[in-house]
């Protein structure tokens, strides 16, 4: 994979940050440290959706989300000298906990910069795994500046939440597992935020099956990826407003080319649809899913998806249930407002 500066590698004539080889290397590296998560299905949900749905339940992953894959790959790829100074990251949630846990598994310090508005349940996870919490203001600029200061003070290695080839390669192992578990899948729906998960999933899945469809699911209150696809360049928003706290980041220069080239479409849904999908996961699948993790089901249930002729041939659909760390206080409040 070359140096640790995050530079890309060539894939099929196009430079992307990862490829099927780096994703398979990641799988070998992280297998001792992560769970092989189950795939669930429900004939009741299939009947409502009019499709066969296969839920890849990363909500059952260590630290409650897929993020441990990328964090473990990044941290266990460090040499001993790099690792001895620890790692640092900035995150409002699942990535923070994942870095704290992966660092604990490797036996090195983890400095976690967290914005003051982060969900309490995710902050508790970081504490549980022994991460050293440093608070920042809410803005991405504050997060990044505090993170840079900590990095300079400690010499820790930055583990970026999404815009890093080791992170992307680690997240791509979700795709390898899913297509081993259900090879007949013709479409995968993935939550999109910074793009690390969908980049890894798309690079792996398209290498295994070039005809597979990759769809992104995005909240209306943070639809920068949909706007970016329409504009043909990265668009960032002045602010975001969605219950899906894990989907508020913007695409990076390593994830955008993959989203631009390999993601077939982006389905935008509102928060009400996300909450409805969460309820369906609770009531029918009997699985606790956070808003970001339920958005794939919300996308399948949307009129946009059902009425689009482009997706009529999608009959066996994999849905990445990205996490299950629910801030129950916010959830109950949103339900009572309805």
| Residues belonging to the active site | 67, 92
3-state DSSP of the chain: CCCCCCCCEEECCEEECCCHHHHHHHHHHHCCCCCCCCEECCHHHHHHHCCEEEEEEHHHCHHHECHHHHHHHHHHCCCHHHHHCCEEEECCCHHHHHHHHHHHHHCCCEEEEEECCCCHHHHHHHHHCCCEEEEECCCHHHHHHHHHHHHHHHCCEECCCCCCHHHHHHHCHHHHHHHHHCCCCCEEEEECCCCHHHHHHHHHHHHHCCCCEEEEEEEHHHCHHHHHHHHCCCCCCCCCCCCCHHHCCCCCCCCHHHHHHHCCEEEEECHHHHHHHHHHHHHHHCCCCCHHHHHHHHHHHCHHHHHCHHHCCCCEEEEEECECCCCHHHHHHHHHHC
Query: Rounded CA gap, 328 and 21, in Å?
Result: 39
Query: Rounded CA gap, 273 and 278, in Å?
Result: 9
Backbone dihedral angles phi then psi of residue 201, each to the nearest 5 degrees: -60, -45
Is the separation of the CB atoms in 63 and 128 below 8 Å?
Answer: no
Q: Residues 152, 253, 75, 318: is their CA dihedral positive or negative?
A: positive
Q: Are strands 316-321 and 187-191 parallel, antiparallel or unpaired?
A: parallel
């Amino acid at each position: 994979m070359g140096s640790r500066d995050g530079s890309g590698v060539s894939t099929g004539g196009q430079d992307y940050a990862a490829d099927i080889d780096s994703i398979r290397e990641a799988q070998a590296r992280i297998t001792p440290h992560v769970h092989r998560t189950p795939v669930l299905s429900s004939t009741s949900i299939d009947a409502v959706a009019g499709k066969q749905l296969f839920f890849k339940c990363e909500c059952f992953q260590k630290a409650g989300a897929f993020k441990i894959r990328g964090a473990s790959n990044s941290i266990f790829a460090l040499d001993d000298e790099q690792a001895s100074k620890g790692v640092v990251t900035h995150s409002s949630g699942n990535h923070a906990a994942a870095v704290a846990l992966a660092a604990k598994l490797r036996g090195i310090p983890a400095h976690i910069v967290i914005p003051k508005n982060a969900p309490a349940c995710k902050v508790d996870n970081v504490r549980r795994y022994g991460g050293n919490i440093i608070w920042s203001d809410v803005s991405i600029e504050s997060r990044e500046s505090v993170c840079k200061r900590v990095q300079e003070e400690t010499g820790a290695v930055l583990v970026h939440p999404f815009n890093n080839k080791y992170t992307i390669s680690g997240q791509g192992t979700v795709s390898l597992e899913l297509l081993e578990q259900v090879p007949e899948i013709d479409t995968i729906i993935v939550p999109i935020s910074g793009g690390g998960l969908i980049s890894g999933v798309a690079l792996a899945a398209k290498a295994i099956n070039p005809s597979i469809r990759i769809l992104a699911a995005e909240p209306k209150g943070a639809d920068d990826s949909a706007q970016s696809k329409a504009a043909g360049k990265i668009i960032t928003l002045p602010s975001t407003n969605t219950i899906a706290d894990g989907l508020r980041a913007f695409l990076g220069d390593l994830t955008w080319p993959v989203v631009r080239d390999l993601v077939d479409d982006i389905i935008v849904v509102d928060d009400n649809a996300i909450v409805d999908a969460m309820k369906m996961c609770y009531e029918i699948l009997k699985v606790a899913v956070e808003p970001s993790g339920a958005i794939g089901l919300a996308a399948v249930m949307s009129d946009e998806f059902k009425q689009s002729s482009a997706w009529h041939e999608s009959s066996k659909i994999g849905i990445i249930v990205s996490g299950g760390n629910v801030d129950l206080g916010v959830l109950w409040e949103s339900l009572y407002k309805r």
